[in-house]
A and B are shown apart, each in its own frame.
Chain A
Amino acid sequence: MRHFSEVYALMRRKNKQQYALLAGCCFFSVLLITAYVCMMRAPTILNVLPEGGDSRKQIMMIFALAVLGCAVFTTYASGLFFRQKSRETGVFLALGASRSQVRRELYRELGVISLGSCAAGAALGGPLAWVLWQVFRLCVVDTEEMRLVFNPAAYVWSLAFSAFVIVMMFLLGSRSVKRTNIIDIVQESHTSEPIREVPRWYGPVGIGLLALGGFLGYMSSFFFIGILHWYPPEGLTGVFYIPALMGLYMILLHTVVNGWNGKKKLYKDLIATSQMRFQGRQTVRNMLVMTLLIAGAYFGSFYTPMLGTGSMIEYDTRPVDYVYNFRADQDIPLEEEVRALAEEYGVTVTDFAAVPMIRLAVDGDNHIEEEGPMGTTWRAEYEEVMSTELFLSASGYEALTGERVDLAPGELRGVVDVEGSKLGFAPDKSLVTNYLTGEQIPVTSLEPLRYDSLFGRYVMNDADFAALGAGLSEEWRETQVCFNVENCEETYDFAKALFNEIVDRSTMDVAQFSGWDPVIRDRYLAEEGVYFLDRENCAEYGFTVIDYAQRDSSAFRMSWQYMPAFRILDRTDFVKTMAVFLILFVFVAVVCFSAVFVIAYTRCMTIALTNRKVYDDLRHLGASNAYLRRSVRGQVKRVFLVPALAGTSLIYAFYVMIMYFNGSPAGITPSEAAGLLADLAVVAAVSALIYGVYRLTLARVCQALGLERSGRLPGGSALPE
């Protein structure tokens, strides 16, 4: 051995665990980010997640959390690596190596580690995402829509993150060599990282800030848009979540430094508590990242049970088995044909009702956006002819529902769902207009009716209905059909056949996106010359183009204006229709929880590495293996338990808050309550998994410290000579 690089190679061999840990952390982070971004940017996903929609925002938000988590995690792993390496760097410098000499060797090593691990992570990230996706397809559900196509541009994100990892490692490496005082470097690995005294009020104040930040963050956009009539710039509302982040940090700091037991268990937990304090800020930072990742993972995990439970309840509580409507100019099966088709499939139709509906213009506030020095603001301008709605006569409503409604001339009742939720629907109107003839009737809106299957319709007096319907062409007239069947559960084939028949016989005139409105269209054409929901413009403006050939896709079924609501069809096809959504969120949860487990495991193994000497000293002082095991358990438990508890309760409370405020009026509906219960079941299952990983990690840490139950002393650790 005659060259400095050979010394480095020897040291590398000696410390291969540290190198493996660093390389593994970088590899894992880049792998995770690449897999996530490959999935997130895949056309398969983007086609399903509407542009600017909540789902895409949620996926982006969790991605931001994952990036933050991985960035902090790799920075921590690098810091740990250089801290452990500082002793040998110090010895080299003390013995006369120049900084440039040490830096040259270090850069060479870092180059290999960072480039190698990042390249491997980036290369395997795509295949990992693909394999996971295929496993889901194989084991859960497989549809044509789920054929995974990757966008190579996704790798730009992966490259950007890899660049961050590489630059960060070189910067930290350079900094560690640049330290001017060799004495500090030589002694660095022996110095503790104390955290300042933390007042006990940090705990309760942290909880307060967390709650306040969560509330302010969520409500700020309502405040800006609803009260100030101002669209805040992207990211501004995020600022309001900062108190929540500060609160979380304070809670974790308080938990690590003071604990929540007061002085009751001071001596019982002395070793574990003081060891955790010794690890200081790094522990808290790691816990913060884990908490955020757990929260993000749960946020993803909750989506599926929430949606599933809500949808299943909605399907079950529908008052009618089969509901559809169609425009009068369409040749869609009516009673005779429906009964004939039903007979073909051995289905008995009961309670068939088909009643006329008319499309009338209604008044309302038009939100006019204006650009100003403060950005985009809006003002409401009342329009007598704002948009259109579908109207039933009182007798028609009775024919469909069996519920008699007495309405005087000029009285109007909107229809909301049975839980009274008005989300996305404003049943209070004061003026109704026949758009073709200009005939107008001022109306008084009464308490809304509640009937799930006719949500969003309006009911008016028969005479008003006749008067306002006069002169309307077929495009403005529709038929509402409702019927039940015997043994609904066994009528899937019939439902599918009827659905296909309806789609096959619908012309391209009604291949419209669900929000398409002829009055709004005219206004847009007059003012801007183009209407974004016209079929030819949908793609350009990010809306689904209705394609009858894609009738089984989630995009079609969620977006077609004349999509029938057949209980058995919707329930049976639910998983298929929502497959991409469901699997994407499950994928996100799997990725985030994996990151949490790797971070927690690494952190705990670090405890074993850095505290070996302490445990040897304690053993010399007469501590039994049982005592030492209890102390290790105290630390490992905190690494797992605190973020798990904080992350779970944080996101669950946040979810409850979202559910409470997202309805109109505010409150938890029975289906939301059921969804929240289903989420609790997810929490229980994931908590069991976290507990399993915790036990496994604890066993590995005890093994590394030679604290197995048999009481065997460690093979490699320093024992009394």
Chain B
Amino acid sequence: MLTVENLRKSYQVGKTSYEVLKGVSLQVDKGEFVAVMGPSGSGKTTLLNCISCYIPADSGSIRLGKTELARLNGDALAEVRNKQLGFVFQDFLLLDGLTVRQNILLPAIIGGIVSDMTEQRADQLCEVFGIAAIRDKYPAEISGGEKQRTAVARALINHPLLILADEPTGNLDSKSTRAVIRSFEQAKSALEATIFMVTHDSYAASFCDRVVILRDGVVWRTLEKGNTEREAFQDELLDAIREMGRSDN
């Protein structure tokens, strides 16, 4: 589904060049729910932004299905973003002037593919994520958790191959966090969605099938959940993070 190979990215600040990604390689299979964790500055968000094609990588390869994203031009990338990727942002990025339902439909409207069926799907997504009752409300009138569930539904409206989520629970309280994570699980189980999530939150990451831990721009460790209980997997994650902290000292 998603294959990242030897990805490198550096930023130029004045005359100094900072290499943020130093050869990251990873793979996400269809139907997988994968999280990327790591301390600040480890390159998580840069990795996500490169995969989203928001910023160009210096070298390496990003393949979505059989498409090499780095080779696409602006219009083709827009097409990929619209049809094959779904996005969930920490700040939700809902448009204040549109209702919940209109926000969910937005990627379909941009893609020019709104039909009765699309509208039915939007309603169905509202049902699945428990936001049917607020579908005619505006973002200013709903809670943070509801906003993020709206964003998840929006990410799924065009049947994307992959959902990219950037700190989706970063701005939420624990109750809303649980609701959003539940919506990802529902997306995965009911809609067979593939999810790639960047997070700081070990609780959110503990719901994933696999967690990739980045450190200083490289993959430091990958933890598989397998049949482990969620709580035990969270402990495993916390141990790994503690171990990383110790080795830093």
A residues neighboring B (CB under 8 Å):
1-4, 6-7, 10-11, 13-15, 87-88, 90-101, 181-183, 186
In order of increasing CB-CB distance, the 3 nearest A-B pairs are: A96-B82, A14-B97, A96-B81
Say if the beta carbon of B38 comes within 8 Å of chain A. Answer: no
In the assembled complex, 15 residue pairs joining A and B whose CB atoms fall closer than 8 Å, in A order, are A3-B109, A6-B109, A10-B97, A11-B97, A11-B98, A88-B95, A91-B106, A94-B81, A94-B89, A96-B78, A96-B158, A97-B110, A98-B74, A99-B74, A183-B54
| B93: interface (CB < 8 Å) | yes
Query: In the bound complex, do residue A181 and residue B85 qualify as a contact, i.e. CB atoms below 8 Å apart?
Result: no
| Contact (Cβ within 8 A) B112 A95 | no
- Complex contacts, B110 vs chain A, CB 8 Å: 4, 7, 92, 95-97, 101
A101 to B80, CA, bound (A): 15
Q: Which residues of B contact A101 (CB under 8 A)?
A: 78, 110
Once the chains bind, are B105 and A94 in contact (CB under 8 Å)?
A: no
CB distance from A2 to the nearest CB of B (A): 4
Cβ contact within 8 Å between B78 and A98: yes
- A-contacting residues, B83-129, CB 8 Å: 83, 85, 87, 89, 93, 95-98, 102, 105-107, 109-112, 114
Q: Which residues of B contact A98 (CB under 8 A)?
A: 74-75, 78-79
Please count the residue pairs between chain A and chain B whose beta carbons lie under 8 angstroms apart in the complex: 81
- Which residue from A1, A94, A97, A99 sits with its C-beta under 8 Å from B87? A94
Contact of A1 among B75, B78, B89, B105 (CB under 8 A): B105
Task: List the A side residues contacting B54 at CB < 8 Å.
Answer: 94, 181-183
State the CA gap A101–B82 with chains docked (Å): 13
B78:A93 contact, CB within 8 angstroms: yes
Tell me the complex Cα distance, A15–B83, Å: 28
A7 partner residues in chain B, CB cutoff 8 A: 95, 98, 102, 106, 109-110
**Contacts A93-B78, A96-B78 supplied; 9 other A-B pairs, CB < 8 Å:** A1-B102, A2-B114, A7-B109, A94-B93, A96-B107, A96-B158, A98-B74, A181-B55, A183-B49
Complex Cα gap A90–B78 (Å): 12
Nearest A residue to B45 via CB reads: A183
Q: Tell me if B's interface is mostly helix, strand, loop or mixed.
A: helix
Which of B52, B87, B95, B96 has most chain A Cβ within 10 Å?
B95
Cα–Cα, bound, A91→B88 (Å): 11
A2 to B82, CA, bound (A): 15
- Indicate if the CB atoms of A95 and B75 lie closer than 8 Å: no
CB contacts (< 8 Å) of A186 on chain B: these are: 89, 93
In the bound complex, CA of A7 to CA of B110 (Å): 9
B78 & A10 in contact (Cβ 8 Å cutoff): no
- Which chain A residues lie closer than 8 Å to B55 at the CB level? 181, 183
- Which residues in B have their C-beta under 8 angstroms from that of A97? 78, 82, 110
- Complex CA distance for A649 and B3, rounded to whole angstroms: 68
Q: A7-B98, A99-B74 are known contacts. Are A2 and B109 too (CB-CB below 8 A)? A: yes
Given A94-B87, A98-B78, check contact A1 B109 (CB 8 Å). yes
A4's partner among B52, B83, B109 (CB-CB below 8 A) is B109
A3 to B114, CA, bound (A): 8
Q: Are B95 and A96 in contact (CB under 8 A)?
A: no
Report the minimal beta-carbon distance from B38 to chain A, rounded to whole angstroms: 19
Q: Which residues does chain A contribute within 8 Å of B85, judged by CB atoms?
A: 96
B96, A99: Cβ atoms closer than 8 Å = no
Q: Is the CB of A95 within 8 A of B96?
A: no
Q: How far is the CB of B71 from chain A (nearest CB, A)?
A: 17
Interface string of B193-222 (1 = CB under 8 A from A): 000000000000000000000000000000
* Bound-complex Cα distance A97 to B114 (A): 14
In the complex, the answer to whether A13 meets B97 with C-beta atoms within 8 Å is yes
A95 to B93, CA, bound (A): 10
Interface centre among B78, B79, B93, B107 (most CB of A within 10 A): B78
Given known contacts A91-B93, A96-B81, A10 and B74 CB-to-CB distance under 8 angstroms: no
Q: Mark B179-191, 1 if CB is under 8 A from A, else 0.
A: 0000000000000
Closest B residue, CB atoms, query A13: B97
Q: Is the beta-carbon distance between B75 and A91 smaller than 8 angstroms? A: no
| C-alpha gap A182/B48 in the complex (Å) | 13
Most buried by B among A14, A97, A183: A97
Q: Are A99 and B78 in contact (CB under 8 A)?
A: yes
What's the minimum C-beta distance from B57 to chain A, rounded to whole angstroms? 13
Give the complex CA separation of A92 and B107 in angstroms.
8
Q: Are B98 and A96 in contact (CB under 8 A)?
A: no
